[in-house]
Amino acid sequence: MLLFSTHGEMIESAPLESNLRFTPTPQDDGKLTVSEIFDMEVKANLVTLSACETGLARGSKGGFPQGDDLVGLSRAFIHAGTPSVVASLWKVSDEATVEMMRSFYRNLQTMPKAEALQQAQLGLAKSSGMISSHPYFWAPFILVGDWK
C-alpha cells in the first residue's frame, strides 16, 4: 500500500501535468505528474491519494474529454499497475481527512476496501464535535478500480 498525504493539483487545460506536490529540491520541482506516473510501474495493491481533487480527470470539471478516456491521477496509478486507488473529488479538510484515513486504514485490517471506506465515511458522518458531519467533510473520497 502507498499513502500520499500531500497537496494535489488538477490542471484542466493540461491534464498530463496534474500532479501531487512534494518538497522541491534544486534538482527536482517537487511535482509528481500524471505523465510521470503513466511511465512508472507501481506494485502496490492500493494507492491512497489523500490530497485535494486527486479523483478528478480531464472533462470532470465541466468540459468533455477528448478521446474515450479521462486523464487524471487516479487513472494514471491504475495504468501504472495499481488495482485500487482512493482519491478525492474536491478540496478536502485536513482535520477530517486525517480522521477518515485513520479509520479507513484501521478498517482495512478486517474489511474489504470498499467496506472499509464506507465505514470510515459513515463514522465521520455520524461524528459530533470538532469535525462536521456535513457531506463536504466525509464524501469527497472514492474508491476507483478493484473494490475487494
The per-residue pLDDT for range 94-145, each reduced to its tens digit, is 999 999 999 999 999 999 999 999 999 999 998 876 567 889 999 999 999 9
The per-residue pLDDT for range 46-58, each reduced to its tens digit, is 999 999 989 888 6
Contact at 8 Å (CB) between 77 and 105? no
The per-residue pLDDT for range 58-92, each reduced to its tens digit, is 655 555 455 445 789 999 999 999 999 999 999 99
Q: What is the pTM of this model?
A: 0.89
What b/e readout covers 15-28, taking b as 16+ CB neighbours within 10 angstroms? Answer: bbebbbeeeeeeee
Domain-by-domain residue ranges, the chain? 2-145
Average pLDDT over residues 9-33: 94
- 3-state SS record for 97-139: HHHHHHHHHHHCCCCCHHHHHHHHHHHHHCCCCCCCCCHHHHC
Architecture in CATH of 2-145? 3-Layer(aba) Sandwich (3.40)
